Amino acid sequence: MFTQEAKAIAEMIPSRPKIAVVLGSGLGGLVSKVQDAKCISYSGIKSLPVPTAPSHNGRFVFGKLGGRDIVLMDGRVHLYEGYTPQQVVAPIRLLRAIGVDTIILTNAAGGINKNLSVGDFMMIEDHISMFVPSPLIGSNDESLGTRFPDMSNAYSKELQRIVIKSAMNIGIDIKRGVYAQLTGPQFETPAEIKALSALGADSVGMSTVIESIAANHCGMRVAGISMIANMACGILDKPLSGEDVNEAAGQSANEFQALITEIVRNIE
Ligand code: HPA
């Protein structure tokens, strides 16, 4: 899968990064920290979907971060844009085809657990995927992965240790929890947040889980980090807006950039 596209990228980019970072809403500022950055627009690669969401660029950024070769996905697509789950995970599969084996998925999320506060970072320990269609539905490409992938370690324990150590190194009190993905684009109702809380979700958003499923399926190690951009509906008596989510993400930009850089530096 994506052999042609991977070959085309290899011809344009001399580096062969093994680490990728997917940047969530409002978190694209990390691009400015990449040295020797070389960008490839998704629109220039046939078969990749192009983001329509506000604040999502649509490009791969290759270069060096924390002394390592990396590729950033600056912008992602979402189910609510009308893309199929398979389209949403296409860039993840392309990254695998170019040799990436470790991926850090990030997002701006709503905090459900009352121990979380706006501006916190939550390391994703596990996820709830039941409210979104699986990207693995349909015929299985055995060259990518098995028909029935195990999901008991969807978020690599080894990477979780590195995330915690990295946060400690730079003085960030990182939280941990379970992330649930819903399709959106509407925010949840208070009843839905109560239900998600009862199911064990600590944060909620409109991305990440199906990417994690696809990345696990094709054999990547996955880490996940939510930036808590707002408390979820009904947790505080405050209406939600997409603009507020982006603004909160922007306010945490410096910490986010330092955290991701430190994680990348520490990845073995
Ligand atoms: N709900 C769903 N998605 C989100 C939220 C939220 O509260 N905040 C940021 N993305």
pLDDT in tens, 193-252: 999 999 999 999 999 999 999 999 999 999 999 999 999 998 888 888 888 888 887 788
Q: Tell me the pLDDT of the chain averaged across its residues.
A: 94
Cis omega before residue 185 (within 30°)? yes
CB-ligand 1 contact for 42 (6 Å cutoff): no
Whole-number Å distance, alpha carbon 151 to ligand 1 midpoint, is 24
Do 73 and 60 touch, CB atoms closer than 8 A?
A: yes
CA-to-CA distance for 168 and 103, rounded, in angstroms?
A: 21
| Chain centroid, CA 261 distance in Å | 15
Distance CA 108, CA 117 (A): 13
Atom of ligand 1 nearest to the CA of 205: 3
User: Mean pLDDT over residues 17-45, rounded?
Assistant: 92
Q: Which two tokens stand for residue 129?
A: 């995927």
Cα–Cα distance measured from residue 232 to residue 148, given in angstroms and rounded to the nearest whole number: 33
Q: Is the CB of 207 under 6 A from ligand 1?
A: no
Q: Say which range, 14-23, 55-64, 81-90, 173-182, has the weakest mean pLDDT.
A: 55-64
Question: pTM for this structure?
Answer: 0.96
Tokens of 145: 């992965």
**pLDDT value at residue 55:** 66
Report angle CA 23, 218, 68 to the nearest 5 degrees: 45
Q: Is the CB of 229 under 6 A from ligand 1?
A: yes
Beta carbon of 60 within 6 Å of any ligand 1 atom: no
